[in-house]
Amino acid sequence: MRKMKKAIIFTLSAIMAISMLTGCGGGGEELSGTVSTDGSTSMEKVIGALGESFEGNNEGVTFTYNPTGSGSGITAVAEGRCDIGLASRSLKDEEKAEGLVETVLAYDGIAVIVNPENPVEDLTMEQIADIFTGKITNWKDVGGADGEIVLIGREAGSGTRDGFESITETEEACAYRQELTSTGDVITTVAGNPNAIGYASLASISDEVKALKVGGVSPSEETIKDATYAIQRPFVLVTKEGTDLSDVAQAFFDYITGPDANAIIVEAGVVPAN
Amino acid sequence: MKSKKQLIENIIHGVFLILGLITVACVLVITIYLLVAGIPAINKIGFMKFMFGTKWAPTASEPAYGILPFILTSVYGTSGAIILGVPVGFFTSVYLAKFASPKMKKIVETAVSLLAGIPSVVYGLVGMIVLVPAVRKVFNLPDGASLFAAIIILAIMILPSIIKVSMTSLEAVPPEYEEGSFALGATPVETYFRVSVTAAKSGIVAAIVLGVGRAIGEAMAVIMVSGNVANMPSLFQSVRFLTTAVSSEMSYVSAGSLHQQALFSIALVLFFFIMLINACLNFFLKRDKTN
C-alpha cells in the first residue's frame, strides 16, 4: 500500500512540474515554453515557416499553430486561449473596441485564378468587379471563348473573400455559383472547370490554375511590394491590450516583426511589412 | 473478508454507474447548451422571419437571417437520397438475406461494410473530383456542384445502414412463416416479398428512418459537392444544407455576434429534426418488439 502511495505522489508531482513548466513558460535566461498561435488558414505557410525557424533558434521552445480561420483566431486571443492571433484582414472597429491590437506582419496578394485552358490573360479591376457581380456573364465579352462564367468564391466571413470583395468593391454583390470553405477547394474546383473563375491567396497558387493579370500587372512579390498589383491585403498579428505576452511569446513576436524574419516571410510567398 | 468483497463489488457498481451517467450527462449538456445558445437569436430575429425567411445574408450591411433555403434543401436532399437509395438498398437486402449464395453474400456484405467505413470526407473528395465534373458534362451545365450531386453522394452513403438493418430484420423472420408459404405452393419470390418482407416491415421502415437520419446529419461530403450557396433549392443549382450552413461559417464568425448565435439556432433546428427522426425510429423499433 505504502509503495502505491509513493508512486501516486511521485506521478502527481511529476504532472504538476510538467504543467508548471508549460503553463508559465519558464522565465529563465534560456527561452523555453510554448508559443501558441491561432487563426487564419491563409497564413499557414508563413507562420509555419516562422515558427519552425524560431524553434530551431531556441531549443526548448514549442511553437503551435491552430488553423481555425481569422475570426476564430481573433476570438481565441480575446478569450486568452492563445498568445498571438492571426488574421488575414484588418481588425474591425468592434474588435478593436474589445481591446485587441493589430500589427501588420506582411502583405498578401490575392490572385484571380482561371482554368489554364482559358485564353483570357488580363482583366481590369472594372471587368473583375462586373464579372463577380454578374454584369458580365459570358467569357466572350472579355475576350475569351463562348461559355458561361462560373464564379467560385469563399464562404461569408472568410478573410480571402472579405479581402477580395473589399478591394474590388463588390461586397454583398457577388453572385457566386459556389461558396467553398478552403483555398484548396477553390483551386481544385477552378482546375476542374474550364469556365470557372475564382480567387485565392498568391502564396497558395499552384500550376493547376492560371493567375490573371490585373490591369496589365501580373501578381508577384515585386508588384505587391511596390503596390502596382491592386488586389492585396494585410496579414495581421493580433494581441490583447493590457495583457503582457509571456517572455517566450514576446521574443517570438519581436523576432517575426524584426528584420531577421524577412527572408523567411519572402520565401513563404508574401511581402514583409516591416 | 466478506465485507471486503462486498466493498469491492459496491465500488465497481459505482464506477459503472458513473460511466453510464457520463453518456446521459453529455446528452443533457449538449441539449441544454443548444437551447441556451440557439434560442436568443431566434427571439431576436423573430421565429417566423428566421424559419421562413428566404434570404440568408449575415455579413451584409442589412443582415438577413432566413433559413428556409437550408431547411428545404435538407428536406429535398434527404428525400432525393431516400428515393434513390431505398429501392437499391431494399432489393439488395432481400437478395442478400434470401436469394444470394453464401459466397456471394459474403462478398457483397464485405463490400457493404467497407462502404460504411469510408470516411465522409473521402466521399466528398471523390464527389468533387469525379462526380461534379461528370454532372457538368452529362447535363451540359456551366457547373456541376448542385443539389443533384449531393443527392447522389447521400444516396450512396445511406446504402450501408439501409442494407444492414433491413437484412437483419429479414433474417430474423421465423422460417416457419416461409415454410408455410412454400407448403401452400407459393414460389420463392412470392414468399419472400409477400411473407418475409411483410413480417420484417417494421425493421425495414426502421432502416429507412436510420438512412434519413444519416442523410440529414451529413455535412462533410455535401459541403464539397453542393456548391454551398444559400439559394432556394433547385435540382441543378448550388445549394446549402442545414449542416453545412453551420459548419461553413462557424470558423470565421466573430464571437458573440448575432451571426454566431444564428448559427447555433440553425444547429438547434437541425437537432430538432434529428430528435424527431430518432423518435420515429424508436416508435418503429418498439412496435417491432411488441409484435
Domains and CATH numbers, chain A: 29-107+235-272 (3.40.190.10), 108-232 (3.40.190.10)
User: A20 or B175: whose pLDDT is higher?
Assistant: B175
Confirm or reject contact between B199 and chain A (CB < 8 A): no
Q: What value does the mean pLDDT take over residues A46-74? A: 88
Q: Running DSSP on this structure, what letter comes out for residue B233? A: P
HSE of B69 in the Cβ direction (CA atoms, 13 Å)? 22
Residues contacting residue B127 through CB under 8 Å, at least 6 positions apart: B149, B152, B153, B221, B224, B225
Query: Tens digits of per-residue pLDDT, B260-283?
Result: 899 999 999 999 999 998 888 888
Contact A87, A159 (CB under 8 A): yes
Longest Cα–Cα distance in chain A: 86
Taking contacts as CB-CB distances below 8 angstroms, the residues of chain B near A157 are 58-59, 249, 251-253, 259
Query: Tens digits of per-residue pLDDT, A137-177?
Result: 999 999 888 989 999 999 877 778 877 888 888 888 888 99
Contact A131, A210 (CB under 8 A): no
Taking contacts as CB-CB distances below 8 angstroms, the residues of chain A near B254 are 71, 74-75, 92, 94-95
Nearest to B229 among A72, A147, A178 (CB): A178
Interface of B with A in 93-112 (CB under 8 A): none
Whole-number Å distance between alpha carbons of A188 and A171: 24
Query: Tens digits of per-residue pLDDT, B236-266?
Result: 989 999 999 998 888 767 667 788 899 999 9
Q: Is residue B240 helix, strand or coil? A: coil
Q: What is the model's pTM? A: 0.74
What is the pLDDT, as a whole number, of residue A26? 40
Burial of A218 from C-beta contacts in 10 A (0-12 / 13-18 / 19+)? middle
User: B59 or A120: whose pLDDT is higher?
Assistant: A120
Contact A264, A53 (CB under 8 A): yes
Contact A208, A189 (CB under 8 A): no
* A10-14, A50-54, B276-280: least confident range: A10-14
Which of B130, B143, B237 to mutate to probe the A interface, most A CBs <10 Å?
Answer: B143
Average pLDDT for chain A: 84
Nearest to A176 among B144, B223, B229 (CB): B229
- Sign of the alpha-carbon dihedral angle for B50, B53, B55, B60: negative
- Candidates B230, B232, B235, B236; CA nearest to B249 is B230
What is the pLDDT, as a whole number, of residue A14? 54
Number of residues written out for chain A? 274
Pairing mode, strands A271-272 and A100-114: antiparallel
Query: Does position A6 have pLDDT exceeding 70, yes or no?
Result: no
Query: Tens digits of per-residue pLDDT, B191-210?
Result: 999 999 999 988 899 899 98
Burial of A108 from C-beta contacts in 10 A (0-12 / 13-18 / 19+)? buried
Confirm or reject contact between B140 and chain A (CB < 8 A): no
Residues contacting residue A115 through CB under 8 Å, at least 6 positions apart: A190, A191, A192, A193, A194, A195, A196, A209, A210
Query: Tens digits of per-residue pLDDT, B86-104?
Result: 999 999 999 999 899 999 9
Query: Tens digits of per-residue pLDDT, A192-206?
Result: 899 999 999 887 788
* Interface touch B132/A189, C-beta < 8 Å: yes
Give, for A239, the enclosing helix (H) or strand (E): strand A232-240
Nearest C-alpha of chain A: how many angstroms from B170?
A: 42
Average pLDDT for chain B: 90
* Interface touch A147/B129, C-beta < 8 Å: no
Measured CA angle at B205 (ends B204, B207), to 5 deg: 65
Whole-number Å distance between alpha carbons of A113 and A190: 7
What is the pLDDT, as a whole number, of residue B73? 95
Closest residue on chain B to A195 (Cα): B142
Nearest C-alpha of chain B: how many angstroms from A183?
A: 13
Contact A201, A42 (CB under 8 A): yes
Nearest C-alpha of chain A: how many angstroms from B237?
A: 8
* Interface touch A155/B61, C-beta < 8 Å: no
Taking contacts as CB-CB distances below 8 angstroms, the residues of chain B near A177 are 142-143, 145, 227, 229, 238
What is the pLDDT, as a whole number, of residue A21? 47
* Interface touch A179/B143, C-beta < 8 Å: no
Query: Tens digits of per-residue pLDDT, B126-151?
Result: 999 899 999 999 998 888 899 999 99
Contact B232, B72 (CB under 8 A): yes
* Interface touch A177/B238, C-beta < 8 Å: yes
Taking contacts as CB-CB distances below 8 angstroms, the residues of chain B near A95 are 254
Q: Cβ–Cβ contacts within 10 Å for residue A249, how many?
A: 22
User: A181 or B289: whose pLDDT is higher?
Assistant: A181
What is the pLDDT, as a whole number, of residue B26? 95
Range B56-290 has CATH code 1.10.3720.10 = yes
